Chains A and B, each alone.
Chain A
Amino acid sequence: MKKSTAEESRSHKAQVVVDRLGKKLNRQIVGSMVACVHCGLCTDSCHYVLSNPGDPTYAPAYKADRIRKIFKRHYDWTGRVFPWLVGAKTVMTDEELEELKDISFGKCTNCRRCSLNCPMGVDFATMNRMTRGLLVSVGIMPEGVATVSKDQWELGNQMGVLKEDYLETLEWMEEELQDELDDPSAKIPVDKEDCAVVYSINPREAKYDPRTIGDAAKIFHAAGEDWTMPSDGWDMTNFGLFSGDDELGGAVARHLFDRVQELGGKKLVISECGHGYRSTRCEAPNWAKYDVPFEMESSVETMLRYVKEGRIKLDKTRNSKPVTFHDSCNLARSCGITEEPRELLNLVCTDFREMYPNREENYCCTGGGGAMSMSEYTPRRLKSGKVKAEQLKATGAKVVVTSCHNCVDGLTDVIRHYELDMEVTQLVNLVAEALVIEKPARVPTVVEDLPLAGRRIVVADDEPDQLLYLATVMEDYGATVYQAASGDEALTLVRKEKPDLVTLDLAMPGRPVTEIYEVLRSDSELEGLKICIITGRPEMRELIYQRMETPPDGYLDKPLSEDDLLRGVRKVLELSHQEV
Chain B
Amino acid sequence: MVTAEVETEQIQLIKGDITLLEVDALVFYAEPNLELGSGFGTAISIRGGPTVKKELERLGPVGTGEAVVSGAGNLKASYIIHAVGPRFQEENTEEKLKTTILNSLRCAEEAGAKTIAFPPMGTGFYGIPLDLCSRLLVELVSDHLKTSASLKEVIICVQDAREFEPFRKELSKVTG
Interface residues of A (CB under 8 A from B): 12-13, 16, 137-139, 146-151, 153-156, 160, 162-163, 233, 247-248, 251, 254-255, 258
Q: Are B47 and A255 in contact (CB under 8 A)?
A: no
Q: List 28 A-B contacts (CB under 8 A).
A: A16-B89, A137-B88, A138-B88, A139-B87, A139-B88, A146-B37, A146-B38, A146-B125, A147-B37, A149-B125, A150-B37, A150-B38, A153-B124, A154-B38, A154-B119, A154-B124, A154-B125, A156-B159, A160-B38, A162-B42, A163-B17, A247-B127, A248-B124, A248-B125, A251-B160, A254-B162, A255-B160, A258-B160
Cα distance A9–B166 in the bound complex, in angstroms = 37
Cα distance A419–B127 in the bound complex, in angstroms = 43
Interface code B71-107, partner A: CB below 8 Å = 1, 0 otherwise? Answer: 0000000000000000111110000000000000000
Chain B residues near A137 (CB-CB < 8 A): 88-89, 127
Closest A residue to B123 by CB, please name it.
A153
Is residue B43 contacting chain A, with contact meaning CB distance below 8 A? yes
Q: Are A153 and B47 in contact (CB under 8 A)?
A: no
Chain B residues near A251 (CB-CB < 8 A): 124, 160, 162
Cα distance A439–B162 in the bound complex, in angstroms = 47
Which of A137, A139, A148, A149 has the most chain B CB within a 10 Å cutoff?
Answer: A139
Q: Are B160 and A151 in contact (CB under 8 A)?
A: no
Cα distance A163–B161 in the bound complex, in angstroms = 19
Cα distance A148–B87 in the bound complex, in angstroms = 17
Known contacts being A251-B124, A255-B160, A255-B162, is A155 close to B39, with CB within 8 Å?
yes
Closest B residue to A233 by CB, please name it.
B160
Is residue B59 contacting chain A, with contact meaning CB distance below 8 A? no
Is residue B46 contacting chain A, with contact meaning CB distance below 8 A? yes
Cα distance A12–B86 in the bound complex, in angstroms = 14
Q: Are B39 and A151 in contact (CB under 8 A)?
A: yes
Is the contact region of chain B dominated by helix, strand, or loop, or is it mixed?
A: loop
Q: Are A155 and B40 in contact (CB under 8 A)?
A: yes
Chain A residues near B41 (CB-CB < 8 A): 150
Q: Are B159 and A162 in contact (CB under 8 A)?
A: no
User: How far is the CB of A345 from the nearest CB of chain B, in Å?
Assistant: 37
Chain A residues near B91 (CB-CB < 8 A): 12
Q: Are B38 and A147 in contact (CB under 8 A)?
A: yes
Cα distance A233–B162 in the bound complex, in angstroms = 13
Interface code B37-67, partner A: CB below 8 Å = 1, 0 otherwise? Answer: 1111111001100000000000000000000
Chain A residues near B46 (CB-CB < 8 A): 162
Q: Are B88 and A150 in contact (CB under 8 A)?
A: no
Please, how many residues of chain B have a CB less than 8 angstroms from a CB on the other chain? Answer: 23
Closest B residue to A165 by CB, please name it.
B46
Chain B residues near A149 (CB-CB < 8 A): 125
Known contacts being A139-B87, A139-B88, A255-B160, is A153 close to B43, with CB within 8 Å?
no
Known contacts being A147-B37, A251-B162, A258-B161, is A153 close to B125, with CB within 8 Å?
yes
Interface code B158-172, partner A: CB below 8 Å = 1, 0 otherwise? Answer: 011110000000000
Known contacts being A162-B47, A258-B161, is A154 close to B88, with CB within 8 Å?
no
Chain B residues near A163 (CB-CB < 8 A): 17
Q: Are B160 and A155 in contact (CB under 8 A)?
A: no
Known contacts A137-B89, A155-B43, A254-B162; 18 further A-B pairs (Cβ under 8 A): A12-B91, A139-B87, A146-B37, A146-B125, A150-B37, A151-B39, A153-B39, A153-B124, A154-B40, A154-B124, A155-B40, A156-B159, A160-B39, A160-B42, A162-B43, A251-B162, A255-B162, A258-B161
Closest B residue to A20 by CB, please name it.
B89
Chain A residues near B119 (CB-CB < 8 A): 154
Interface residues of B in 2-48 (CB under 8 A from A): 17, 37-43, 46-47
User: How far is the CB of B176 from the nearest CB of chain A, in Å?
Assistant: 29
Q: Are B88 and A151 in contact (CB under 8 A)?
A: no
Q: Are B162 and A150 in contact (CB under 8 A)?
A: no
Chain A residues near B161 (CB-CB < 8 A): 254, 258
Chain B residues near A12 (CB-CB < 8 A): 90-91
User: How far is the CB of B60 from the nearest CB of chain A, in Å?
Assistant: 18
Chain A residues near B40 (CB-CB < 8 A): 154-155
Chain A residues near B37 (CB-CB < 8 A): 146-147, 150
Chain B residues near A13 (CB-CB < 8 A): 88
User: How far is the CB of B34 from the nearest CB of chain A, in Å?
Assistant: 15
Interface residues of B in 146-168 (CB under 8 A from A): 159-162
- Closest A-B pairs by Cβ, 5 of them: A154-B39, A139-B88, A153-B124, A150-B39, A160-B42
User: How far is the CB of B45 from the nearest CB of chain A, in Å?
Assistant: 9
Cα distance A58–B38 in the bound complex, in angstroms = 32
Chain A residues near B39 (CB-CB < 8 A): 150-151, 153-155, 160
Chain B residues near A248 (CB-CB < 8 A): 124-125
Cα distance A279–B163 in the bound complex, in angstroms = 21
Cα distance A12–B90 in the bound complex, in angstroms = 8
Task: Name the one of A16, A139, A155, A254 contacting B42, with C-beta atoms under 8 angstroms.
Answer: A155
Chain B residues near A247 (CB-CB < 8 A): 127
